[in-house]
A and B are shown apart, each in its own frame.
Chain A
Amino acid sequence: MSDLVADKVNMVFNTKGGGTVHALKDVSFTLKEGELLSVLGPSGCGKTTLLNIIAGFNRPTGGAFYLGDEEISGPGMNRGMVFQQGALFEWLTVAENVNFGLRMKGSNKKETAKKVEEWLEIVGLQGFGNTPTYQLSGGMQQRVALARCLINDPDLILMDEPLGALDALTREKMQTLVLKIWKETGKTIMIITHSVEEALLLGERLFVMAPRPGRLHKEYRLPFAEEGLTTDPREIKNSQQFIETREEILSMIWDMEEEIMGGTSNAA
């Protein structure tokens, strides 16, 4: 069992002026293996900080994350990461990007080549192995990033606004791809997003975070991700439940934003 457990995680940054910013306060949750979680919140609520801590790029000032039995203390191959801009190595070809992790480990070349073929087919890039990545479109680059992360067979996949920079059409296709991968591989996936609709569609569970200090505000359990595997996402988006939930979350975030803006205007 490799569940992700957050135990009273706190993150306090020191600012240059000598003050402190409480980026995360007492964040505790458990993400079971195979669950699909999306995290939503206004900007500055600590979403990315949360993800960076889980990935091991930052260390929390209090509390800890556990993946399975191990405490997370640094970056590792059991957590795959997909970034907003792909963060591909543009001096390498598609195949070299995808097999980067395996090459670093020194895996068998033949097996690696076979795996790369498989994964390129899953993400819909068969035949692009020798293409330089700087020649790919944004959507294709994100597919490479997905394959590059998945080929290492991580326990947990972390996605930091992975579809944020894509156009609407590509985005819809990629959402379906993410659902397909979730279904087929049964991986635990955590997605951070700005878009409420995306969060609803790609979240079996949904956390809404609140800023100042960054904390978990509300949790939802949603049926849409499961439905999305079989139904057209456009139909889901038009369903009564989807619209109601969307409006509820939107007004919730709207209130938070208002609070921040009001606070600043009062202070000024």
Chain B
Amino acid sequence: MTTVGVLFIVLICLLVGSIIYGRRLLKTEVTDAVFGNPTRALGGWHWIVAGISSILIIWLYFSWDAGRAFFPKAANELCQVAKLNRTANPIRSAFPLDDRLLRSTALLERDYGQIDLLDSKLANANFGDTDRAELKAIISEMRGTLSAQADPKLIAPDAAGRLDDIATRINELAKNLEDDNYPSEADPDREKALQQPGWGETNVEIPTLPITDLGYKFSKASEVMDGISKDFGKIRNNSEAITAKLEALQARYKGFKIDESEGEEITAQRKELVKQIEKIYRRIDDGKIFPSAMTEPVEAALINLEDVKNSAQGSLRWIDAIALPGGDILAGNRACSEQGSGRWLPKPSDTLNTLTRMAEPTEGFMNIPLLWYAMKPAGEVFEILIPDWIADLVPGEYPRHDNEGKVLTNFKTKVYNFATGNYKSMLIPVPIGHIWDSLMRVLAGLFFGILLGVPLGLYMGLSRFAKGFFDPLIELYRPIPPLAWAPLIVTIFGIQDDGKIFLLFMVAFAIMVISARTGATGTQLSKIHAAHSLGASKFQIVRKVILPNSLPEILTGIRIAIGVCWGTLVAAEMLAGTTGIGFVENVARKQSDYEVIWMTILLLGILGLMFDLMMRFIIHRTIPWRGKG
């Protein structure tokens, strides 16, 4: 048994075990647990185990990972059954087996309906009396032709025989399916089939060639069924009587002359109506309507085949229903594919494989690792900290080349080279990758948001002018969804990092301003009074009293801002750019690569959780007095 199978059984044991343990514990808690007592909600490890194993069990089960672990050949066998279904479908669809109406009934209903509509249009149309009478006659003849097609006495002489032949062949196929020795010869392609990649190992998902005898039986049956279906499609109900009726009808409507004497508009209306007669004629002349009694043997044969097919599958039907829930395996022209939850919910083991593959620094996603490091010259790394214009401030001119084309360097050049990182320096490891890029964008946006937002927020909390002056600006732009800015920001900043960082800055800024302001206005007046009478200056009061007093609100603001930034970032990276977790998800979306999509979702969840745990830890450490003042 595979690892996944063992894991599945272990998880079920864990779930059952923790529930039994939890139940027993509840009994002993009866004495102290009053409903509504918050200590009852303290949980316990066993419930965490139960919760996590439930999630994993559901995931393994509905993604068919567990089913694949226990029945690795099932998908291949079901694929062969699906082939039989696919080849039988052209005949099945003519009968009320999957649909509500017999196909002939449905065609008649549709055609009669259109003729009735035409009839009512004719009553209101602008025609002369004789013309109207002629058209009425044509329409009623159409009705006659339709009902003739449903008449068993007028059926084409060969059609009846051919329909019976189809029924016989289907019954024979059913008999073969019941036979354990069918097909009599061994599968010639078995050797090749066994060498196909397994279920889920390639993009084809499910190996197509049958790898078991049961599968071969259905595969063979589907080939036979394909022939039967093609022959069924060729049968036409076109007896001489009906053909004659159709030809007479055609001659009659073609012989009808439109009276064009009453102006263009009326002529156009008349032409339109006559055109509709021709349209309906084209629909009724293809001989696809059969008398309902004539097709009964085929229908009975199909019902029999369905029963036989189900019983011939044996335990495979139960595997399909129980181990592969929420969808089926369907056969297409070339390959079989999973449908339903098996398709859009990737198997945990496949996702883990994808993650392991992508975590490999040489592989990554689009040749960029998820999170790794590269050796870069220290000069290039720190270059960003030194503005290039300091070289311009150095006295003197940048050198010009002399008549021999030589360029001499001077002190100004050296400063410029230093500022741009253009010098030899030792290599230092620098983190790189999609995760790192996303992380840096969030942290940069957050950093500037805090750096500018907190002072402004405090200022607004302390000054009537600042509150009034900045409040409308901030309150107006704050509720705008950050992505609404995206098109503008792409235009202004381009698709590089600055635009994304600016977007995140705007998100973080508004949150930080509001939380810092709330914190500043929440300072007790007596504390300010106390600080004043202890001789503190204005600056000291802001720095030593108002700022620490606002710290709980500011830290809560940072916690909220991180969450919102993270969400905005992924959406922003989906718009433009070439790195980042959002970029990975966007590419995976275009390729319908559900494993990568789920992997990015999990990754984002885990990173968000880590950020939040970190903030909780910081809040716990820096403001232990909160709620105890």
Interface residues of A (CB under 8 A from B): 55-57, 75-77, 79-81, 83-85, 87, 89-91, 100-101, 104-105, 132-135, 145, 148-149, 152
Contact = CB atoms under 8 A, between A and B. Distances in A.
B533 A79 contact: yes
Given A87-B524, A132-B625, A76 B548 contact: no
Contact of A134 (B526, B531, B551, B628): B628
7 contacts: A57-B532, A87-B527, A89-B549, A101-B534, A104-B534, A104-B536, A104-B540
Contact of A148 (B526, B534, B536, B623): B534
B197 interface: no
A17 B529 CA distance: 28
B468 interface: no
Interface in B23-45: none
Given A90-B629, A91-B549, A104-B544, A152 B530 contact: no
Given A55-B529, A87-B529, A152 B625 contact: no
Of the candidates B531, B533, B623, the one having the most CB atoms from chain A within 10 angstroms of its own CB is B533
A83 B529 contact: yes
Of the candidates A91, A100, A152, the one having the most CB atoms from chain B within 10 angstroms of its own CB is A91
B531 A81 contact: no
Contacts of A100: 531, 534, 536, 544
A152 B526 contact: no
Contacts of B526: 83-85, 87
Interface string B538-565: 0010001100110100000000000000
Given A87-B524, A87-B526, A91-B548, A75 B624 contact: no
A81 B530 CA distance: 7
Interface string B586-617: 00000000000000000000000000000000
B263 interface: no
A104 B624 contact: no
A88 to B, nearest CB: 8
Given A77-B533, A89-B545, A134-B624, 8 more contacts: A81-B533, A83-B526, A87-B530, A89-B527, A89-B548, A91-B549, A104-B534, A133-B625
B128 interface: no
A104 B533 contact: no
B79 to A, nearest CB: 68
Contact of B534 (A57, A77, A134): A77
Contact of A81 (B524, B529, B544): B529
A56 to B, nearest CB: 8
B537 interface: yes
B76 to A, nearest CB: 68
B387 interface: no
Contacts of A89: 527, 544-545, 548-549
Contacts of B524: 87
A135 B628 CA distance: 8
A33 B160 CA distance: 129
Given A90-B628, A91-B548, A91-B625, A104 B535 contact: yes
A141 B526 CA distance: 14
The B contact surface, by secondary structure, is helix
Contacts of B540: 104
A134 B629 contact: yes
A-B pairs with the 7 shortest C-beta distances?
A101-B534, A75-B532, A87-B526, A77-B535, A134-B625, A90-B625, A81-B533
A101 B532 CA distance: 9
B535 A76 contact: yes
Contacts of B625: 90-91, 132-134
Contacts of B623: 91
A75 B629 contact: no
A171 B530 CA distance: 22
A161 to B, nearest CB: 12
B534 A152 contact: yes
A258 B527 CA distance: 35
Contacts of A56: 532-533
A91 B166 CA distance: 90
Given A85-B526, A87-B530, A105 B545 contact: no
A229 B540 CA distance: 39
Given A91-B548, A104-B537, A75 B529 contact: yes
Contacts of A132: 624-625
Contacts of B545: 89
Contacts of A57: 529, 532
B406 to A, nearest CB: 60
A152 B527 contact: no
Contacts of B628: 90, 134-135
Of the candidates B534, B549, B551, the one having the most CB atoms from chain A within 10 angstroms of its own CB is B534
A169 B533 CA distance: 29
B383 to A, nearest CB: 40
Contacts of A91: 548-549, 551, 623, 625
Contact of B533 (A55, A84, A85): A55
Contacts of B629: 90, 134
A47 to B, nearest CB: 16
B535 A105 contact: yes
A104 B538 CA distance: 11
B34 to A, nearest CB: 29
B544 to A, nearest CB: 7
Contacts of B548: 89, 91
Nearest to A104: B536
Contacts of B534: 77, 100-101, 104, 148-149, 152
B627 to A, nearest CB: 9
A132 B548 CA distance: 14
Contacts of A76: 533, 535
Contacts of A90: 625, 628-629
A38 to B, nearest CB: 20
A149 B529 CA distance: 12
Contacts of B533: 55-56, 75-77, 79-81, 149
A60 B395 CA distance: 61
Of the candidates A80, A87, A133, the one having the most CB atoms from chain B within 10 angstroms of its own CB is A87
Contacts of A134: 624-625, 628-629
A222 B220 CA distance: 119
